Copies of this chain bind each other. A is one copy, B any other.
Amino acid sequence: MSHNIFAAESSWMAHGSALQDVILTSRIRLARNIRGFPFPHRTTMESKEALTSRVEVLLPDLNGSSGKEWQLVRMNSLKSNLRGILLDKHLVSPQLVHNPDGASLLLSSDEEVAIMLNEEDHLRLQVLLPGEQLNASWETATRIDDILENELDYAFASDLGYLTACPTNVGTGLRASVMAHLPALAISKKIPRLLTAINQMGFVVRGIYGEGSEAAGQVYQISNQVSLGSAEGEVLQSLQAIVKQVVDEERNTRRSLQNSTEQELIDRIGRSIGTLKNARLMDTAEAMQLLSDLRLGINLQRVYGIDCQTVSILLVKIQPSWLSVEYPQENASLAWQRAAVLREALSQTSID
């Protein structure tokens, strides 16, 4: 029996992992291609289908060896708002949502491992875990990768490493990243300086929801830029060092806000909660900003009646995809439904 992959909840939203007051998730992504098949952007539907079948036959192997249950989801079998939910849960890329023809998702039932087929590369293997779990993500990724490599003839060159559709992924094919919630640094206008420092270490910072230095929801993805020329271990170690520094800076800034401007901070969080509990119309960007304040309040132990896992679930439920799936018959606008979802979720929430 396959679980409901369109539920708003996912395993990476679970709580109790390291540094999770700042680091929401750790992600390892491996880009792999199979010899004898053209890259997806230069191929036919028939070839994509053949590749999908080639991987689909490995499902029993995956089920047997990975300790997880797997299912294959063909993207063009899904309505766009269902594909959108998978995107909002960070299980697939925007490209897989917008170019669904011939593309598929191999997903473990715990949703920790997702393998996109016929995205930019033949295979894009992702492991997504809560908190700072880069090593654990890496171990899971290599274990799954080994299972696949046993059966598939990966495109590999001894001088270059794994061959990929885009040169930035050639080599290890590795992208390691974390999603970091940086509200105190954002409030204190310290994000631009941080971005510069991280860029100088060869890593890149992007707003998860929208680009720029004032990302909606104040959630930032930090990832390595290229995967040629650095061993996997070096990339992970560098990212872990950056994570440590970012966590320290965010925590110190939270502490400093609490010490120097506590009334303003609690006023800001209180107002955000008041708006979430009482508004009737809300757009996505405002909801993400208010939920960011709410998460900060929870982590500062000033907000009660809600937990961070619920906030992560709400970040899916406020998106147009989930709302349009959940309220297909309603005449009310998404802004109206979004506000109703938030009011209900926060009915027991208060600030001390």
A50 at interface by CB-CB < 8 Å: no
Interface string of A335-352 (1 = CB under 8 A from B): 010010000000000010
- Residues from chain B with a CB closer than 8 A to the CB of A279 are 267, 270-271, 274
B278 and A263 contact, CB distance less than 8 A: no
- The yes or no answer to A48 lying at the interface (CB within 8 A) is no
State the CA gap A279–B268 with chains docked (Å). Answer: 7
Q: A216 contacts the other chain (Cβ, under 8 Å)?
A: no
Q: Are A280 and B275 in contact (CB under 8 A)?
A: no
Minimal beta-carbon separation of A294 from chain B (angstroms): 12
Residues A336 and B263 in contact, CB atoms below 8 Å apart = yes
Determine whether the beta carbon of A271 is less than 8 Å from that of B263.
no
Query: Complex formed: what's the CA distance from A273 to B278 in Å?
Result: 7
Is A317's CB within 8 Å of the partner chain B? no
Shortest Cβ distance from A150 into chain B, in angstroms?
A: 57
Q: Number of A residues contacting the other chain (C-beta, 8 Å)? A: 19
Q: Mark A261-290, 1 if CB is under 8 A from B, else 0.
A: 001101100110111111111000000000
Neighbouring B residues of A278 by C-beta, 8 Å: 270-271, 273-274, 277, 351
Partner of A280, one of B270, B277, B281, B339: B270
Max chain B Cβ within 10 angstroms of own Cβ: one of A264, A271, A281: A271
From B263, B273, B336, A281 is in contact (CB under 8 Å) with B263
Kindly identify, within residues 7 to 63 of chain A, every residue whose CB is under 8 Å from any CB belonging to chain B. none
Is the Cβ of A267 less than 8 Å from the Cβ of B339?
Answer: yes
Which residues of B have CB within 8 Å of A263?
280-281, 333, 336
Q: How distant is the Cα of A274 from the Cα of B273 in the complex, in angstroms?
A: 8
- Shortest beta-carbon distance from A275 to chain B in Å: 5
CA distance in complex: A273, B266 (Å): 17
- Chain B residues within an 8 Å CB radius of A351: 278
Bound: A267/B278 CA distance, A: 8
CA of A336 to CA of B262, assembled, Å: 12
**Closest chain B residue to A272, Cβ basis:** B278
A270 partner residues in chain B, CB cutoff 8 A: 278-280
Chain B residues near A267 (CB, 8 Å)? 279-281, 339
By a CB distance below 8 angstroms, the chain B residues around A336 are 263
A232-281 contacts to B (CB < 8 Å): 263-264, 266-267, 270-271, 273-281
> For the complex, what is the distance from the CA of A339 to the CA of B270, rounded to whole Å?
11
- Cα(A274)–Cα(B333), bound, Å: 21
Q: Which residues of A contact B (CB under 8 A)?
A: 263-264, 266-267, 270-271, 273-281, 333, 336, 339, 351
Q: List 26 A-B contacts (CB under 8 A).
A: A263-B280, A263-B281, A263-B333, A263-B336, A264-B281, A266-B280, A267-B279, A267-B281, A267-B339, A270-B278, A270-B279, A270-B280, A271-B274, A271-B275, A271-B278, A271-B279, A273-B274, A273-B278, A274-B274, A274-B275, A274-B276, A274-B277, A274-B278, A274-B279, A275-B275, A277-B278
